[in-house]
Amino acid sequence: MNYSIALIPGDGIGPEVMGPAVEILDAAGTKAGHVFTYVELEAGGLSIDRSGVPLPDGVVEKVSQCDALLLGAVGGPRWEKLPGHLRPERALLGLRKGLGVFANLRPVSLLPQLRSACPLKDEVLAAGSPGGKAGFDLLIVRELTGGLYFGERGRSADGSLAFDTETYSRTEIERVLRTGYAAAAKRRKKLCMVDKSNVLESSRLWREVAEELAKEYPLIETSYMYVDNCAMQLVRSPGQFDVIVTSNLFGDILSDEASVLTGSIGMLPSASLGSLDAEGGKSIMGMYEPVHGSAPDIAGKDIANPLAAILSAAMMLRYSFGLEKEAALIGTAVSRVLDSGLRTADIAGKSGAGETVVGTRAMADAVLEAVKSAPWTEGEYHA
């Protein structure tokens, strides 16, 4: 198959980690008989320098004509003093809104190779996890284009009073829950809806919609949890969770909390998805990016971890193109490289002896080689 991919490498380490992600995608494509074509576009700081705005007219439209968007990261100290509407990060909001990607998916799992990077004890990791194994593998689905971040806000005339409002419609809640259910169906079939329905009216609507929708998904075990309890449970027994679905504000906070349990932000991919296709499987538009920012402190030094970007590309194969096996090919290649002891500086020293610290390029080359040399016949990866 042929797929067209909009590519925004962005600022700072963005181009350093996106270059390898593209090479690895191409290697997986060659192996599996797919052709990926890239439409390179500018947004963020680079675009401010070249055209004076963070998201030039026509970029959203050009992305919409592609099958998915891969983005590095935008921003940096050079543009920090600009007024809010001209800051590079404004491009992200414009892309999310313009593309209608309302569900942000962040998988958070503990890789056995990075066990010692997790501050939790074995007994905590084992509590509630499948088979009592010391680990976790969860997916946070955060509503991305509504709620407190987009509600009405303001100040009183004298500035001494401020307010922000949380507004959600049934449609907004239902569509993100459906994305959560579609993801849960491909995982361990558990969905936990997180809210604050003992206090907030908007949360009561979330709970109402979730209870109605749960009846449509009898094969998925649906549970409900207050957000304060969830914040505690994530560090008491993260293994109990499979898919967590929640609002924009709660998801922002919980996903950052969960990410700390994994070792380094340089390992974490993300997907922002729009409506699902008629079968409820693939996203009609998806934006894929590492969770980290442009990391200006390490840009240009060949020390950035490229794995979050590479794993984001694998998420694109899975969620936008439905290429599960090709996504697994990349995931397994990353795992094998970590097994071999290679580490970028951010994840070094976390598993003790037998590690070799390498730069961005060498880590990317190792994953590339692992993809190229993986046994793959007749569309199947044979481990």
Q: How far is the C-alpha of 313 from the C-alpha of 289, rounded, in Å?
A: 8
Binding mask 331-370 vs ligand NAD (x if CB under 6 A, - otherwise)?
---------------x------------------------
Nearest distance, CB of residue 144 and ligand NAD, angstroms: 12
Q: Is 74 in the site for ligand NAD (CB under 6 A)?
A: yes
297 near ligand NAD (CB under 6 A): yes
Rounded distance between C-alpha atoms, residue 206 and residue 43, angstroms: 34
Q: Which of 49, 122, 164, 228 is catalytic?
A: 228
List C-alpha distances in Å: 30 to 5, 24, 349.
16, 10, 35
Looking at the Cβ atoms of 67 and 252, the one nearer to ligand NAD is: 252
144 conformational bin, left if phi > 0, alpha if psi -120 to 50, beta if neither: alpha
Q: Crossing angle of helices 324-339/307-319, nearest 10°?
A: 160
Interface with ligand NAD by CB under 6 A: which range of 1-9, 52-60, 271-279, 296-304?
296-304
- The conformation of residue 130, written as its DSSP 8-state character, comes to G
Cα-based distances in Å from 154 to 157, 160, 161, 165, 184: 9, 11, 8, 9, 38
Q: Does 289 bind ligand NAD (CB under 6 A)?
A: yes
Chain Cα centroid distance, residue 274: 14
Nearer to ligand NAD, 118 or 304 (CB): 304
Q: Are 7 and 67 contacting, i.e. CB atoms less than 8 angstroms apart?
A: no
Q: Interaction with ligand NAD in 17-56: which residues (CB under 6 A)?
A: 17
Shortest CB 331 distance to ligand NAD, Å: 17
How far, in Å, CA of 68 to CA of 6, rounded?
6
Q: ∠ CA(344), CA(346), CA(351), 5° rounding?
A: 80
Minimum separation from the CB atom of position 263 to ligand NAD (A): 11
DSSP H or E stretch at residue 18: helix 14-32
Active-site residue, selected from the candidate residues 97, 133, 149, 224? 149
As measured in angstroms, the least distance from the Cβ of 47 to ligand NAD is 13
Q: Is 122 a catalytic residue?
A: no
256 a catalytic residue: yes
Q: Please report how close the Cβ of residue 89 comes to ligand NAD at its closest, in angstroms.
A: 5
- CA separation for the pair 127, 109 (Å, rounded): 15
252 counts as catalytic: yes
**What mask, x for binding ligand NAD by CB under 6 A, covers residues 264 to 283?**
-xx-----------------
228 an active-site residue? yes
Pairing of strands 103-109, 269-273: antiparallel
Rounded-to-integer distance, Cα 88 and Cα 82, Å: 9
Q: Is 89 in the site for ligand NAD (CB under 6 A)?
A: yes
State the angle between helix axes of 14-32 and 360-373 in degrees (0 to 180), rounded to the nearest 10: 10
List 18, 73, 191, 323, residue binding ligand NAD (CB under 6 A): 73
> Catalytic residue at 57?
no
For position 305 contacting ligand NAD by CB under 6 A, the verdict is yes
- Residue from 99, 271, 304, 374 in contact with ligand NAD (CB under 6 A): 304
From 95-103, 182-190, 205-213, 294-302, give the range in contact with ligand NAD by CB under 6 A: 294-302
Which position among 294, 312, 320, 351 is part of the footprint of ligand NAD (CB under 6 A)? 294
Q: Which residues are catalytic?
A: 149, 196, 228, 252, 256
Residues that bind ligand NAD (CB under 6 A): 13, 17, 73-76, 89, 92, 265-266, 289, 292-298, 304-305, 308, 346
